[in-house]
Protein backbone atom coordinates (compact mmCIF):
# COMPACT_ATOMS: atom_id res chain seq x y z
CA UNK A 1 0.00 0.00 0.00
CA UNK A 2 1.38 3.41 -1.01
CA UNK A 3 2.34 5.66 1.89
CA UNK A 4 0.24 8.79 2.38
CA UNK A 5 1.87 12.16 3.05
CA UNK A 6 -0.02 14.98 4.74
CA UNK A 7 2.61 17.74 4.71
CA UNK A 8 4.16 18.01 1.27
CA UNK A 9 6.52 20.81 0.25
CA UNK A 10 6.60 21.51 -3.50
CA UNK A 11 9.86 23.11 -4.62
CA UNK A 12 9.86 24.88 -8.01
CA UNK A 13 12.72 26.76 -9.67
CA UNK A 14 13.63 28.35 -12.98
CA UNK A 15 16.77 30.04 -14.19
CA UNK A 16 16.71 32.58 -17.07
CA UNK A 17 17.57 30.04 -19.75
CA UNK A 18 14.98 27.55 -18.51
CA UNK A 19 12.13 30.03 -18.91
CA UNK A 20 12.30 29.09 -22.60
CA UNK A 21 12.12 25.32 -21.98
CA UNK A 22 8.56 24.93 -20.64
CA UNK A 23 9.84 24.85 -17.05
CA UNK A 24 8.09 28.04 -15.95
CA UNK A 25 7.05 28.47 -12.31
CA UNK A 26 3.39 28.27 -13.29
CA UNK A 27 3.92 25.12 -15.36
CA UNK A 28 5.75 23.31 -12.55
CA UNK A 29 3.23 24.44 -9.92
CA UNK A 30 0.28 23.22 -11.97
CA UNK A 31 1.81 19.81 -12.67
CA UNK A 32 2.96 19.22 -9.10
CA UNK A 33 -0.46 20.21 -7.80
CA UNK A 34 -2.18 17.74 -10.10
CA UNK A 35 0.33 15.00 -9.19
CA UNK A 36 -0.20 15.44 -5.44
CA UNK A 37 -3.97 15.51 -5.91
CA UNK A 38 -3.85 12.21 -7.83
CA UNK A 39 -1.71 10.68 -5.06
CA UNK A 40 -3.99 11.99 -2.36
CA UNK A 41 -1.19 14.00 -0.79
CA UNK A 42 -1.84 17.30 1.01
CA UNK A 43 0.32 20.23 -0.14
CA UNK A 44 1.60 22.20 2.82
CA UNK A 45 3.33 24.91 0.78
CA UNK A 46 4.89 25.80 -2.57
CA UNK A 47 8.48 27.08 -2.47
CA UNK A 48 9.20 29.05 -5.68
CA UNK A 49 12.69 30.30 -6.64
CA UNK A 50 12.26 32.26 -9.90
CA UNK A 51 15.43 33.27 -11.74
CA UNK A 52 17.89 31.48 -9.45
CA UNK A 53 20.71 29.23 -10.63
CA UNK A 54 20.77 25.58 -9.57
CA UNK A 55 24.55 25.71 -9.28
CA UNK A 56 24.48 26.69 -5.59
CA UNK A 57 22.14 26.69 -2.58
CA UNK A 58 21.95 30.47 -2.09
CA UNK A 59 18.23 30.57 -2.93
CA UNK A 60 15.64 32.18 -0.62
CA UNK A 61 12.80 29.66 -1.10
CA UNK A 62 15.18 26.70 -0.76
CA UNK A 63 16.52 28.10 2.51
CA UNK A 64 12.96 28.67 3.78
CA UNK A 65 12.09 25.08 2.89
CA UNK A 66 15.10 23.80 4.80
CA UNK A 67 14.01 25.80 7.85
CA UNK A 68 10.56 24.14 7.64
CA UNK A 69 12.24 20.73 7.28
CA UNK A 70 14.27 21.35 10.44
CA UNK A 71 11.12 22.54 12.26
CA UNK A 72 9.33 19.26 11.46
CA UNK A 73 6.66 20.90 9.31
CA UNK A 74 7.18 18.64 6.28
CA UNK A 75 7.24 14.90 5.67
CA UNK A 76 7.76 14.96 1.88
CA UNK A 77 9.58 17.16 -0.63
CA UNK A 78 8.57 16.92 -4.28
CA UNK A 79 10.09 18.52 -7.38
CA UNK A 80 9.05 18.42 -11.04
CA UNK A 81 12.55 17.29 -12.08
CA UNK A 82 15.72 16.49 -10.12
CA UNK A 83 17.75 19.33 -11.62
CA UNK A 84 15.13 21.79 -10.28
CA UNK A 85 16.48 20.96 -6.82
CA UNK A 86 20.12 21.36 -7.83
CA UNK A 87 22.54 20.95 -10.73
CA UNK A 88 25.37 20.11 -8.36
CA UNK A 89 25.94 16.44 -7.54
CA UNK A 90 27.38 17.33 -4.17
CA UNK A 91 24.51 19.71 -3.28
CA UNK A 92 21.86 17.22 -4.43
CA UNK A 93 23.20 14.41 -2.24
CA UNK A 94 23.77 16.82 0.66
CA UNK A 95 20.16 18.04 0.53
CA UNK A 96 18.62 14.58 0.27
CA UNK A 97 20.88 12.62 2.65
CA UNK A 98 22.00 15.27 5.18
CA UNK A 99 18.89 17.48 5.25
CA UNK A 100 15.75 15.58 4.18
CA UNK A 101 16.29 11.95 5.21
CA UNK A 102 17.93 12.68 8.58
CA UNK A 103 14.82 14.73 9.42
CA UNK A 104 12.47 11.91 8.29
CA UNK A 105 11.45 13.78 5.15
CA UNK A 106 11.12 11.73 1.96
CA UNK A 107 11.97 13.09 -1.48
CA UNK A 108 10.25 12.49 -4.83
CA UNK A 109 10.96 13.65 -8.36
CA UNK A 110 7.82 13.64 -10.48
CA UNK A 111 9.41 13.42 -13.95
CA UNK A 112 11.89 10.69 -13.10
CA UNK A 113 9.08 8.77 -11.25
CA UNK A 114 11.02 7.60 -8.22
CA UNK A 115 11.23 8.44 -4.54
CA UNK A 116 13.51 7.86 -1.57
CA UNK A 117 11.03 5.67 0.25
CA UNK A 118 12.33 2.76 -1.86
CA UNK A 119 15.97 1.52 -2.11
CA UNK A 120 15.92 1.69 -5.92
CA UNK A 121 14.76 5.30 -5.74
CA UNK A 122 17.71 6.23 -3.54
CA UNK A 123 20.12 4.52 -5.95
CA UNK A 124 18.55 6.30 -8.92
CA UNK A 125 18.93 9.70 -7.23
CA UNK A 126 22.67 9.11 -6.90
CA UNK A 127 22.92 8.17 -10.58
CA UNK A 128 20.82 11.10 -11.84
CA UNK A 129 22.66 13.61 -9.69
CA UNK A 130 25.87 12.52 -11.45
CA UNK A 131 24.30 13.44 -14.79
CA UNK A 132 23.05 16.74 -13.37
CA UNK A 133 26.64 17.53 -12.36
CA UNK A 134 27.86 16.46 -15.81
CA UNK A 135 25.41 18.83 -17.50
CA UNK A 136 26.54 21.68 -15.24
CA UNK A 137 30.18 20.99 -16.10
CA UNK A 138 29.36 20.89 -19.81
CA UNK A 139 27.57 24.25 -19.57
CA UNK A 140 30.62 25.71 -17.84
CA UNK A 141 32.90 24.24 -20.51
CA UNK A 142 30.76 25.64 -23.34
CA UNK A 143 30.72 29.04 -21.64
CA UNK A 144 34.52 29.00 -21.30
CA UNK A 145 34.95 27.93 -24.92
CA UNK A 146 32.63 30.75 -25.97
CA UNK A 147 34.74 33.29 -24.12
CA UNK A 148 37.93 31.92 -25.66
CA UNK A 149 36.28 32.12 -29.09
CA UNK A 150 35.28 35.75 -28.53
CA UNK A 151 38.83 36.62 -27.48
CA UNK A 152 40.36 34.91 -30.49
CA UNK A 153 37.98 36.89 -32.67
CA UNK A 154 39.21 40.07 -30.94
CA UNK A 155 36.20 40.87 -28.74
CA UNK A 156 36.42 42.08 -25.16
CA UNK A 157 34.82 39.57 -22.76
CA UNK A 158 34.16 41.82 -19.77
CA UNK A 159 30.46 42.26 -20.47
CA UNK A 160 28.99 45.61 -19.52
CA UNK A 161 31.95 46.53 -17.29
CA UNK A 162 33.88 48.47 -19.90
CA UNK A 163 37.42 49.61 -18.97
CA UNK A 164 38.06 53.32 -18.47
CA UNK A 165 38.18 55.07 -21.84
CA UNK A 166 35.59 52.86 -23.51
CA UNK A 167 31.86 52.18 -23.59
CA UNK A 168 30.42 48.71 -24.21
CA UNK A 169 27.95 48.98 -27.11
CA UNK A 170 26.32 46.00 -28.87
CA UNK A 171 29.03 43.61 -27.74
CA UNK A 172 31.91 45.87 -28.77
CA UNK A 173 34.20 48.39 -27.10
CA UNK A 174 33.69 51.93 -28.41
CA UNK A 175 36.06 54.78 -27.51
CA UNK A 176 34.64 57.32 -25.05
CA UNK A 177 36.51 60.48 -26.07
CA UNK A 178 36.17 62.22 -22.70
CA UNK A 179 37.50 59.27 -20.71
CA UNK A 180 40.06 58.33 -23.37
CA UNK A 181 41.61 61.78 -22.90
CA UNK A 182 42.07 60.95 -19.20
CA UNK A 183 43.80 57.65 -20.04
CA UNK A 184 46.17 59.42 -22.46
CA UNK A 185 46.95 62.03 -19.82
CA UNK A 186 47.79 59.29 -17.29
CA UNK A 187 50.32 57.80 -19.72
CA UNK A 188 51.82 61.14 -20.63
CA UNK A 189 52.20 62.16 -16.98
CA UNK A 190 53.91 58.89 -16.16
CA UNK A 191 56.29 59.25 -19.10
CA UNK A 192 56.94 62.81 -17.96
CA UNK A 193 58.16 61.55 -14.57
CA UNK A 194 55.04 61.67 -12.36
CA UNK A 195 54.47 58.77 -9.99
CA UNK A 196 51.18 56.85 -9.79
CA UNK A 197 49.91 58.71 -6.70
CA UNK A 198 50.59 62.13 -8.25
CA UNK A 199 48.79 61.07 -11.44
CA UNK A 200 45.81 59.86 -9.42
CA UNK A 201 45.58 63.15 -7.50
CA UNK A 202 45.80 65.23 -10.70
CA UNK A 203 43.15 63.17 -12.50
CA UNK A 204 40.84 63.28 -9.47
CA UNK A 205 41.12 67.06 -9.19
CA UNK A 206 40.58 67.59 -12.92
CA UNK A 207 37.94 64.99 -13.75
CA UNK A 208 36.40 63.73 -10.50
CA UNK A 209 36.44 59.87 -10.19
CA UNK A 210 39.96 58.27 -10.08
CA UNK A 211 39.61 57.71 -6.34
CA UNK A 212 42.59 55.40 -5.82
CA UNK A 213 46.04 54.85 -7.28
CA UNK A 214 45.24 51.20 -8.09
CA UNK A 215 42.97 52.33 -10.92
CA UNK A 216 45.86 54.34 -12.42
CA UNK A 217 48.26 51.42 -12.00
CA UNK A 218 45.84 49.05 -13.76
CA UNK A 219 45.34 51.47 -16.66
CA UNK A 220 49.10 51.82 -17.11
CA UNK A 221 49.52 48.01 -17.28
CA UNK A 222 46.54 47.09 -19.45
CA UNK A 223 47.46 46.10 -23.02
CA UNK A 224 43.81 46.54 -23.98
CA UNK A 225 44.69 50.21 -24.58
CA UNK A 226 46.97 49.23 -27.48
CA UNK A 227 44.26 47.06 -29.08
CA UNK A 228 44.75 43.72 -27.30
CA UNK A 229 42.32 41.41 -25.48
CA UNK A 230 43.25 38.75 -22.93
CA UNK A 231 41.77 35.53 -21.58
CA UNK A 232 43.46 33.11 -19.17
CA UNK A 233 46.88 34.65 -19.73
CA UNK A 234 46.71 34.55 -23.53
CA UNK A 235 46.67 37.76 -25.58
CA UNK A 236 44.92 38.32 -28.91
CA UNK A 237 44.55 41.23 -31.34
CA UNK A 238 41.33 43.09 -30.56
CA UNK A 239 38.83 44.62 -32.96
CA UNK A 240 38.47 47.79 -30.86
CA UNK A 241 40.27 51.09 -31.52
CA UNK A 242 43.47 51.56 -29.43
CA UNK A 243 43.78 54.65 -27.23
CA UNK A 244 47.52 54.43 -26.55
CA UNK A 245 50.32 53.86 -29.05
CA UNK A 246 52.29 50.63 -28.75
CA UNK A 247 55.45 52.71 -28.41
CA UNK A 248 54.16 54.62 -25.37
CA UNK A 249 52.77 51.47 -23.75
CA UNK A 250 56.06 49.58 -24.07
CA UNK A 251 57.96 52.58 -22.77
CA UNK A 252 55.74 52.70 -19.67
CA UNK A 253 56.30 48.97 -19.05
CA UNK A 254 60.05 49.47 -19.36
CA UNK A 255 59.91 52.29 -16.82
CA UNK A 256 58.00 50.10 -14.36
CA UNK A 257 60.42 47.23 -14.93
CA UNK A 258 63.53 49.37 -14.56
CA UNK A 259 62.28 50.87 -11.28
CA UNK A 260 61.69 47.37 -9.87
CA UNK A 261 65.16 46.21 -10.93
CA UNK A 262 66.70 49.23 -9.27
CA UNK A 263 65.33 48.43 -5.82
CA UNK A 264 67.98 47.37 -3.32
CA UNK A 265 68.23 46.70 0.41
CA UNK A 266 69.41 50.21 1.18
CA UNK A 267 66.98 52.08 -1.05
CA UNK A 268 66.84 52.88 -4.76
CA UNK A 269 69.64 53.38 -7.20
CA UNK A 270 69.48 55.28 -10.47
CA UNK A 271 67.11 53.73 -13.02
CA UNK A 272 67.85 53.63 -16.78
CA UNK A 273 64.98 55.94 -17.76
CA UNK A 274 64.85 58.15 -14.72
CA UNK A 275 63.25 61.46 -15.61
CA UNK A 276 66.03 63.81 -14.50
CA UNK A 277 66.35 65.52 -17.87
CA UNK A 278 64.00 67.30 -20.22
CA UNK A 279 64.08 64.75 -23.05
CA UNK A 280 64.67 61.53 -21.08
CA UNK A 281 62.87 58.51 -22.59
CA UNK A 282 61.98 60.37 -25.82
CA UNK A 283 65.22 60.00 -27.80
CA UNK A 284 66.10 57.07 -30.10
CA UNK A 285 69.08 56.14 -32.24
CA UNK A 286 68.33 56.07 -35.98
CA UNK A 287 71.34 53.77 -36.58
CA UNK A 288 70.55 50.84 -34.25
CA UNK A 289 67.12 51.65 -32.76
CA UNK A 290 68.33 51.81 -29.16
CA UNK A 291 67.18 54.48 -26.76
CA UNK A 292 69.36 57.44 -25.73
CA UNK A 293 70.19 58.01 -22.07
CA UNK A 294 71.42 61.15 -20.34
CA UNK A 295 74.70 61.00 -18.45
CA UNK A 296 77.84 63.08 -17.93
CA UNK A 297 76.32 66.09 -19.66
CA UNK A 298 75.37 64.26 -22.88
CA UNK A 299 72.51 62.35 -24.43
CA UNK A 300 74.14 59.07 -25.57
CA UNK A 301 72.97 55.98 -27.45
CA UNK A 302 72.87 53.01 -25.05
CA UNK A 303 74.59 50.86 -27.67
CA UNK A 304 77.52 53.27 -27.81
CA UNK A 305 77.77 54.24 -24.13
CA UNK A 306 77.18 50.64 -22.93
CA UNK A 307 75.99 52.07 -19.60
CA UNK A 308 73.17 49.51 -19.36
CA UNK A 309 73.90 46.15 -20.98
CA UNK A 310 70.23 45.19 -21.35
CA UNK A 311 69.51 48.14 -23.65
CA UNK A 312 72.43 47.63 -26.04
CA UNK A 313 71.15 46.81 -29.55
CA UNK A 314 74.36 47.08 -31.60
CA UNK A 315 77.65 47.24 -29.64
CA UNK A 316 79.37 48.68 -32.72
CA UNK A 317 77.04 51.68 -33.02
CA UNK A 318 78.87 55.02 -33.31
CA UNK A 319 75.96 57.44 -33.57
CA UNK A 320 76.61 60.97 -32.38
CA UNK A 321 76.41 62.07 -28.73
CA UNK A 322 74.58 65.35 -28.10
CA UNK A 323 75.29 67.82 -25.37
CA UNK A 324 72.17 67.92 -23.19
CA UNK A 325 71.74 71.70 -23.22
CA UNK A 326 72.29 71.82 -27.01
CA UNK A 327 69.64 69.21 -27.85
CA UNK A 328 67.18 70.61 -25.29
CA UNK A 329 67.45 74.06 -26.90
CA UNK A 330 67.09 72.61 -30.40
CA UNK A 331 63.86 70.81 -29.46
CA UNK A 332 62.42 73.82 -27.61
CA UNK A 333 63.16 75.96 -30.67
CA UNK A 334 61.24 73.47 -32.84
CA UNK A 335 58.26 73.60 -30.47
CA UNK A 336 58.39 77.41 -30.59
CA UNK A 337 58.53 77.24 -34.40
CA UNK A 338 55.57 74.89 -34.78
CA UNK A 339 53.49 77.20 -32.60
CA UNK A 340 54.29 80.50 -34.30
CA UNK A 341 55.19 79.48 -37.88
CA UNK A 342 51.85 78.61 -39.51
CA UNK A 343 53.49 77.44 -42.72
CA UNK A 344 55.67 75.01 -40.78
CA UNK A 345 52.69 73.83 -38.71
CA UNK A 346 50.63 73.17 -41.85
CA UNK A 347 53.56 71.29 -43.38
CA UNK A 348 53.87 69.00 -40.33
CA UNK A 349 50.10 68.51 -40.27
CA UNK A 350 50.11 67.56 -43.93
CA UNK A 351 52.82 64.94 -43.42
CA UNK A 352 50.73 62.85 -41.03
CA UNK A 353 50.48 59.26 -42.28
CA UNK A 354 47.02 57.89 -43.03
CA UNK A 355 46.11 55.73 -40.06
CA UNK A 356 43.40 53.16 -39.41
CA UNK A 357 41.04 55.74 -37.92
CA UNK A 358 41.32 57.93 -41.00
CA UNK A 359 40.66 54.95 -43.29
CA UNK A 360 37.60 53.97 -41.23
CA UNK A 361 36.41 57.58 -41.40
CA UNK A 362 36.71 57.58 -45.20
CA UNK A 363 34.80 54.29 -45.43
CA UNK A 364 31.95 55.68 -43.31
CA UNK A 365 31.87 58.87 -45.37
CA UNK A 366 31.74 56.79 -48.57
CA UNK A 367 28.81 54.73 -47.24
CA UNK A 368 26.98 57.91 -46.23
CA UNK A 369 27.53 59.46 -49.67
CA UNK A 370 26.19 56.31 -51.31
CA UNK A 371 23.02 56.46 -49.23
CA UNK A 372 22.52 60.13 -50.10
CA UNK A 373 22.76 59.23 -53.80
CA UNK A 374 20.16 56.48 -53.33
CA UNK A 375 17.82 58.93 -51.58
CA UNK A 376 18.24 61.42 -54.43
CA UNK A 377 17.44 58.74 -57.03
CA UNK A 378 14.41 57.64 -55.04
CA UNK A 379 13.10 61.22 -55.03
CA UNK A 380 13.59 61.32 -58.82
CA UNK A 381 11.51 58.14 -59.16
CA UNK A 382 8.80 59.70 -57.03
CA UNK A 383 8.69 62.80 -59.22
CA UNK A 384 8.29 60.81 -62.44
CA UNK A 385 5.72 58.54 -60.80
CA UNK A 386 7.40 55.27 -61.81
CA UNK A 387 6.99 53.68 -58.36
CA UNK A 388 3.96 53.46 -56.02
CA UNK A 389 4.07 55.93 -53.13
CA UNK A 390 3.88 53.06 -50.59
CA UNK A 391 7.03 51.41 -51.94
CA UNK A 392 8.89 54.72 -52.12
CA UNK A 393 7.89 55.55 -48.54
CA UNK A 394 9.07 52.15 -47.29
CA UNK A 395 12.42 52.45 -49.08
CA UNK A 396 12.88 56.03 -47.89
CA UNK A 397 12.31 55.03 -44.24
CA UNK A 398 14.99 52.34 -44.48
CA UNK A 399 17.46 54.64 -46.20
CA UNK A 400 16.84 57.41 -43.67
CA UNK A 401 17.47 55.00 -40.79
CA UNK A 402 20.78 53.96 -42.34
CA UNK A 403 21.65 57.60 -43.07
CA UNK A 404 21.08 58.56 -39.41
CA UNK A 405 23.23 55.65 -38.27
CA UNK A 406 26.17 56.55 -40.53
CA UNK A 407 25.94 60.24 -39.60
CA UNK A 408 26.33 59.31 -35.93
CA UNK A 409 29.23 56.97 -36.76
CA UNK A 410 30.86 59.71 -38.84
CA UNK A 411 30.61 62.23 -36.01
CA UNK A 412 32.08 59.71 -33.54
CA UNK A 413 34.89 58.84 -35.96
CA UNK A 414 35.72 62.50 -36.54
CA UNK A 415 35.84 63.06 -32.79
CA UNK A 416 38.37 60.22 -32.40
CA UNK A 417 40.53 61.70 -35.16
CA UNK A 418 40.34 65.21 -33.68
CA UNK A 419 41.10 64.18 -30.07
CA UNK A 420 44.94 63.97 -30.43
CA UNK A 421 44.99 67.30 -32.30
CA UNK A 422 42.92 68.95 -29.56
CA UNK A 423 45.33 67.75 -26.88
CA UNK A 424 48.27 68.88 -29.00
CA UNK A 425 46.84 72.38 -29.48
CA UNK A 426 46.00 72.64 -25.77
CA UNK A 427 49.59 71.83 -24.83
CA UNK A 428 50.94 74.22 -27.45
CA UNK A 429 48.81 77.01 -26.02
CA UNK A 430 50.51 76.64 -22.61
CA UNK A 431 54.03 76.43 -24.04
CA UNK A 432 55.16 79.94 -23.12
CA UNK A 433 53.94 79.67 -19.53
CA UNK A 434 55.26 76.18 -18.81
CA UNK A 435 58.26 75.64 -21.05
CA UNK A 436 59.86 79.06 -21.25
CA UNK A 437 59.00 80.54 -17.84
CA UNK A 438 58.00 79.03 -14.50
CA UNK A 439 57.19 75.38 -15.18
CA UNK A 440 58.82 72.64 -13.09
CA UNK A 441 60.86 69.93 -14.79
CA UNK A 442 57.94 67.52 -14.44
CA UNK A 443 55.51 70.05 -15.98
CA UNK A 444 57.90 70.75 -18.84
CA UNK A 445 58.38 67.04 -19.52
CA UNK A 446 54.62 66.48 -19.50
CA UNK A 447 54.10 69.28 -22.01
CA UNK A 448 56.86 67.99 -24.29
CA UNK A 449 55.59 64.39 -24.15
CA UNK A 450 52.13 65.69 -25.08
CA UNK A 451 53.60 67.38 -28.16
CA UNK A 452 56.32 64.89 -29.13
CA UNK A 453 56.05 61.13 -29.55
CA UNK A 454 59.77 60.50 -30.16
CA UNK A 455 63.02 62.14 -31.28
CA UNK A 456 65.32 60.24 -33.66
CA UNK A 457 69.02 61.07 -33.98
CA UNK A 458 70.94 60.31 -37.18
CA UNK A 459 74.33 61.99 -36.72
CA UNK A 460 73.62 65.70 -37.28
CA UNK A 461 70.02 65.12 -38.38
CA UNK A 462 67.30 65.38 -35.74
CA UNK A 463 63.86 64.04 -36.69
CA UNK A 464 60.95 64.88 -34.39
CA UNK A 465 57.79 62.77 -34.54
CA UNK A 466 54.93 64.95 -33.37
CA UNK A 467 51.74 63.68 -31.72
CA UNK A 468 49.42 64.94 -34.46
Name the residues annotated as catalytic. 15
Give the number of other CB atoms < 10 A from CB of residue 380: 10
Contact at 8 Å (CB) between 451 and 466? yes
CA 166/CA 156 separation, integer angstroms: 11
Contact at 8 Å (CB) between 239 and 169? no
User: Which residues, including other chains, have CB under 8 Å from residue 146's CB and lie 6 or more apart?
Assistant: none
Q: Which residues, in sequence order, are bridge partners of residue 77?
A: 9, 107
H/E stretch holding 91 reads: helix 89-93
SS3 413: helix
CA 84/CA 109 separation, integer angstroms: 9
Contact at 8 Å (CB) between 335 and 467? no
Phi then psi for residue 463, to 5 deg, are: -115, 115
CA 435/CA 446 separation, integer angstroms: 10
Amino acid sequence: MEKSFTHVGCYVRVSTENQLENYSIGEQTERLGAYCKAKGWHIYKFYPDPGFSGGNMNRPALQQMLQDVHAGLLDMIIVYKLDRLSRSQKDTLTLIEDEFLVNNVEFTSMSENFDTSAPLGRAMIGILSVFAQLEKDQITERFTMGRIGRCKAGYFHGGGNAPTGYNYVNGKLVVDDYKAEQVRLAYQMFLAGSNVNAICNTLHEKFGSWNNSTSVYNVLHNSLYIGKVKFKGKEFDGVHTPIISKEDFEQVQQLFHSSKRAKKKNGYTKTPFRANYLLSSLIYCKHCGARYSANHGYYKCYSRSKSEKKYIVDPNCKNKNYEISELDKLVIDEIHRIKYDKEYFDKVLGQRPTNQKANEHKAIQSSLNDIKIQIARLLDLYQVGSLPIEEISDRMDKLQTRKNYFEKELASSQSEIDAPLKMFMGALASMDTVLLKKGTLEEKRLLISTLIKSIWIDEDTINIKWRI
